Amino acid sequence: MLLRTLKGRHSILLVFVPVIIILLWLGTFLNPVSLTMGQTQMPLYELLLFLTGGSNLVLNIIASVLLVLIAYGMVRLNEQYIFIRQRTDLPAFVFAFIGTGAISLGGMHPSLAAAFLMFLAIDNVFKIYQGTATLAKSFNAGLLLGLATLFYLFAGVYIIWLWTALAVLGYLRAREVLAGLMGFIAPLFFAFFWYFWTDGLGAVFQAISGLFSVNTDFASISLFQFVYWGILGFLVIMSSIYMLTVYEEKKISSRKYFIVLLSFFLFSAFSFIFFGGSGVEQYFISIIPVTYITSHYFVLQKHSWIGEVFFYILVLSSISIHFLA
């Protein structure tokens, strides 16, 4: 059975992760288009556009590399912190399928670059709980969130998530909070100082204002895409309910990691609701915790045939959406 095979520990199968991403994004490579609609973006994404010559194909290749790196990072993060009480490669495959499942986000978007940096920030946040170099890890997490904000404006909200995570992990102390804040401010300060020095600060504020005013055209999103997101939503609900039933059985560290991931997902949902400009591109960010929560369910739920059925539904819908939407 497919799920039984993929939830095992067969590292050789990981070579199929980039293959899955490339095949599901084949249309993205054959007909590359810009996902930012000519809208001026945050400084680091504008720099990326300059370095790539604005080539949509090159940008989409970079996007696929970022997806692969996050997918592999999912496996490494679980092995290091044992969020799922089993060594498994499944998170990489789950991320590969759902990461390519938003047709309107087929290719490079500032939020994907931000999601990669925010994934690294999660790694640093988890390391804080180990109790070593907490100031450095707090600073690094804040720094990564600051860099993410220079790619994608609405990533800045997650500095509040960092403080929330510190509270969950028992490190909401003045020095860790300040270290995270200093790390967050540092790249923003240097970026704005550079633009001030080069008389480009007005253009940056204009870009920020423009990004706040952009609204997602939901009418342009197909019914099949909403159905697919509905399937994901159902799996998230099922997986969360299962997580709650086994919550008391988990180690204290695993419980805290779960709450940190859940809060990360909630911040993504709140950003989507309260910031109209954030749009559906929050998808790239929100699927990081979604991958772990659903993978946890697929790996550990007791009725194997139910897991197989739901996993087949996820895989088949992730493939068929590219032909229907």
Domain range summary for the chain, segments of one domain joined by +: 2-324
21 contacts 99 by C-beta, under 8 angstroms: yes
pLDDT tens track, the chain, 325 positions: 788 888 777 777 789 999 999 999 999 999 998 888 778 889 999 999 999 998 999 999 999 999 999 999 999 998 888 778 778 899 999 999 999 998 888 899 999 999 999 999 999 999 999 888 899 999 999 999 999 999 999 999 999 999 999 999 999 999 999 999 999 999 999 999 998 898 888 888 888 888 877 776 666 788 899 999 999 999 999 998 988 888 777 788 888 998 999 999 999 988 887 776 667 888 999 999 999 999 999 988 877 788 899 999 999 999 999 888 6
- Residue 103 DSSP label: G
- How many residues are listed for the chain in this entry? 325
Instruction: Give the separation between CA 262 and CA 293, rounded to whole angstroms.
Output: 9
Q: What pLDDT was estimated at residue 171?
A: 92
Q: What's the farthest any 2 CA atoms get from each other in the chain?
A: 63
Instruction: Give the separation between CA 256 and CA 242, rounded to whole angstroms.
Output: 16
Which of 193, 211, 185 lies closest to 271 in space, CA to CA? Answer: 211
Residue 251 three-state SS:
coil
Instruction: Give the separation between CA 199 and CA 185, rounded to whole angstroms.
Output: 21
- How big is the CA angle at 295 (ends 291 and 301), to the nearest 5 degrees? 150
Between helices 134-151 and 174-197, what is the axis angle to 10°?
Answer: 40
159 contacts 184 by C-beta, under 8 angstroms: yes
Q: What pLDDT was estimated at residue 49?
A: 94
Token pair 């909401």: residue: 172
Q: What pLDDT was estimated at residue 219?
A: 64
Beta strands in 48-97 (DSSP E): none
Instruction: Give the separation between CA 73 and CA 79, rounded to whole angstroms.
Output: 10
